[in-house]
Structure 1
Amino acid sequence: MSSSMIVFLDFFGIAVFAMSGALTAGQKRLDIFGVMVVALITCLGGGTLRDVILGAQPVVWVANTAYLYVGLGSALLAFVLARFWHLPLRSLEVCDAIGLAFFTLAGIQKAQMLGHGADIALLMGLMTGVAGGILRDVLCNEIPLIFHREIYATAALAGGGLFLLLQALAVDGGLALLLGMATILLLRLTGIFLGLSLPPFLFSYRRSG
């Protein structure tokens, strides 16, 4: 996949993740500065961690400051929209689902461009997709979405795994990309709107004595 496609995925993912960060901060009644900080951490945290681990220097938003401005602009847009229009309660989760789909595939392709195999690429895709959301939720004193019972990380792994499988089968790159993202988005939205989840770990024990 071309570097221009990765840049497009990054920019789109940054936009929707920045909006999800801004909406989360807005729910906590933070001021505009707090909204911007949370939004930037949400949209840049996963890619930063990925680049540091992979040794890709400088990290993506240092090498191209347009990432910062896309994040700030998207957060400001969400801030304005939320003040003048009533946004549906699911807006945050839908934005997060879209960002998860785009960032997971962008992370996989970034790792592949640096010469890593499918296993590392899948892990880097997962990290790119979920790390920013974890940081957002921790900062806003929320249980991270990745720890909810609804399908989240599993969706990223399924869609990313499908993309890698289709690549191995020599399926057209664009089609593989679309199918991978669609799988992530479909699974995540199914979890959101239909409550689809993995079974919980049930543990019981008996007190001694």
Structure 2
Amino acid sequence: MANEESDVLTLLNYAGVVVFAAAGALAASRKQLDIIGFLFFAAMTGIGGGTLRDLILGRLPVFWVKEPAYILVCVATGTLVFFTAHLVEFRYRLLLWLDAVGLAVYSVMGAQIGIEATGSPIIAIVTGMLTATCGGVLRDILADEPSVLLRPEIYISAALGGAGAFVLGQAIGLPLFFSAMVGFVVAFALRGGAIHYGWTIRRYRPRPGRDPDDALRK
């Protein structure tokens, strides 16, 4: 049973790389880059968050150095998108939904790896959040797109919710597979609702600035 659960998580990890790599390649298509640009964006988005996670946890060499198949998956995905992106009419919206799937998968995978490495639920939630969001942030910075961090709808909170749900499931004794599914559903539901319905968290609204003379008098 443990081996079957491990196989499912490995499959989810590859699925997360594929959807994030596709999202990165779609960003390259919006910038009309050549195929090398597509492959770079696919790889940066697909493995960027996991690379940062492994560096923070001291898991060296990082996962794609130990298993180069992850690089091949990014290359294959980037190449496929290069030849098919023109068939998609609303590429930015597809990018957002692919990013939502990748975020949901990686919030769980990052949390699981954090638990295995440290045994700390808090660290697991943090590594889940970092794994799920940093690839998308890097993609947006490199593509000179509006960063997902600066968009009003929920993003990081979705990753935190998914990682937290997974960690809670493990804490109460749910099987690994069911904990992973719960975490995925929570993260995807939050991010999907943000994309479709515009869900947001209340934003900071400062008070109007005071006149300097009034401030000095008080």
The question of 1:208 aligning with 2:212 is answered yes
- Structure 1 counterpart of 2:78, which letter? A
TM norm structure 2: 0.90
TM norm structure 1: 0.94
Cα RMSD for the two superposed structures: 1.5
| Residue aligned with 2:59, SS | coil
Counterpart pick for 2:194 among 167, 191, 195: 191
Aligned residues between the structures: 209
- Give the equivalent residue in structure 1 for 2:151: 148
User: Within 5 A, what are the aligned runs for 1:69-84?
Assistant: 69-84=72-87
User: Within 5 A, what are the aligned runs for 1:1-209?
Assistant: 2-87=5-90, 89-204=92-207, 205-209=209-213
Point out the structure with the larger helix share: 2
Deviation at 1:207, TM superposition (A): 3.8
Whole-Å Cα distance in 1 between the matches of residues 90 and 198 of structure 2? Answer: 21
Whole-Å Cα distance in 2 between the matches of residues 36 and 158 of structure 1? Answer: 31
| Residue aligned with 1:196, SS | coil
Q: Deviations over 1:168-189 (max 9, x none)?
A: 1112221121111011111101
Whole-Å Cα distance in 2 between the matches of residues 183 and 159 of structure 1? Answer: 5
Preserved contact between residue 45 and residue 139 of structure 2 (Cα < 8 Å) = yes
- Structure 1 counterpart of 2:77, which letter? S
Larger deviation: 138-147 or 119-128?
138-147
Q: Deviations over 1:90-135 (max 9, x none)?
A: 1000000000011111111111222331000110010000011111
Unpaired runs of at least 5, structure 2: 214-218
Deviation at 1:3, TM superposition (A): 4.1
Unpaired runs of at least 5, structure 1: none
| Residue aligned with 2:118, SS | coil
Deviation at 1:89, TM superposition (A): 4.2
